[in-house]
Structure 1
């Protein structure tokens, strides 16, 4: 099992904090997780209040980085600590050097650069561990805003596959960013 340092969370960015969920997140968490527009392309299903409480309790103490298990971290405003979304990550059991990530933001917070800021910070944290070689994100080909974000983060389309999702056929697109490409793009950014 990959060992995540004790200080992996919380992490701050310019406007946000990535942290574990806290009890007071429940109302805001349920607000976006029960929004049909937010849930449209997500692999999770909407949660009841009781399921939301259980989920938050589990994530408060869950170990980070157990291969094959998803871990969700909260995305909150840095100033107020109010929840605006979350990021999930799963170390692949078959290849623990690969991590899949997924992200969800409250509809009112979309289009403001928050997802890019949060996911970019997580990518940086994961590659800084030294044992992660590739970060993967899978999205529906109709989810244009997520695809634009993944491309802005330097991820490349590696695979498209027609699958059945929630009773209808769609195309899942897999995007990848390997450590070497991330290092090269980081060096180029630093040179500017």
Structure 2
């Protein structure tokens, strides 16, 4: 779809490519077990974080089947407060999956909702994606409540479908269609 860097601006935030200048902010939350508790990744060392950012610098939005991670920057401070990921479905690029991670220092401020709405506006209004999916850990109540608050539908409950961090976990699948997004306007 594009080989240009993704850039989305919301009232308080900028969603953009990660750079090595983000490393010090990035590692603060990516090395925190509470932040990674419900994520599909584990805590990172500084070396792993640097490699992750470097690897992502060669990725651009639009390659089907490939997750691309983006930084979430606070417009007022210029600091990285989290990151988000977008993946177009490998078999049908009209379907996207997303994920969001907010630093433990910046949670409970409405940033996750602002990022989610910004990504949805980009995907549905600009790219004309048909469907957006979010897979969430069944114990991640904050994320479940966020998705429900903007009218994502729960479509599935996968029981002990993933073995991660030494135990079996369950997940919910939530989704929204472009027509549902349009009806909200």
Q: Distance in 2 between matches of 1:16 and 1:131?
A: 22
Aligned to 2:105, the other structure's residue is in SS state helix
Q: Distance in 1 between matches of 2:182 and 2:66?
A: 27
Q: Distance in 2 between matches of 1:173 and 1:124?
A: 23
Q: Distance in 2 between matches of 1:59 and 1:79?
A: 25
Aligned partner of 2:61 in structure 1 is 64
Aligned to 1:107, the other structure's residue is in SS state coil
Q: Distance in 2 between matches of 1:130 and 1:37?
A: 34
Q: How much does 1:49 deviate? A: 1.5
Aligned partner of 1:177 in structure 2 is 176
Alignment of 1:13 with 2:22, yes or no, is no
Aligned partner of 1:101 in structure 2 is 98
Q: Distance in 2 between matches of 1:82 and 1:164?
A: 33
TM-score by length of 1: 0.90
Residues 17, 81 of structure 1: 8 Å contact kept: no
How does 1:1-192 map onto structure 2 within 5 Å? 3-4=1-2, 6=4, 9-162=6-159, 163-166=161-164, 167-186=166-185
Aligned to 2:57, the other structure's residue is in SS state helix
Q: Distance in 2 between matches of 1:4 and 1:146?
A: 29
Q: Which runs of 5+ in 1 are unaligned?
A: 187-192
Residues 3, 60 of structure 2: 8 Å contact kept: no
Residues 11, 18 of structure 1: 8 Å contact kept: yes
Q: How much does 1:130 deviate? A: 4.2
Residues 65, 71 of structure 1: 8 Å contact kept: no
Listed one character per residue, the Cα deviations across residues 142-187 of structure 1 (whole Å, up to 9, x for unaligned) are 100000111112211000011133232332100000000000011x
Listed one character per residue, the Cα deviations across residues 114-136 of structure 1 (whole Å, up to 9, x for unaligned) are 01001110110011234410000
Q: Distance in 2 between matches of 1:56 and 1:164?
A: 26
Q: Which runs of 5+ in 2 are unaligned?
A: none
Which stretch shows the higher mean deviation, 22-31 or 125-134?
A: 125-134
Q: Distance in 1 between matches of 2:178 and 2:53?
A: 31
Q: Distance in 1 between matches of 2:16 and 2:132?
A: 20
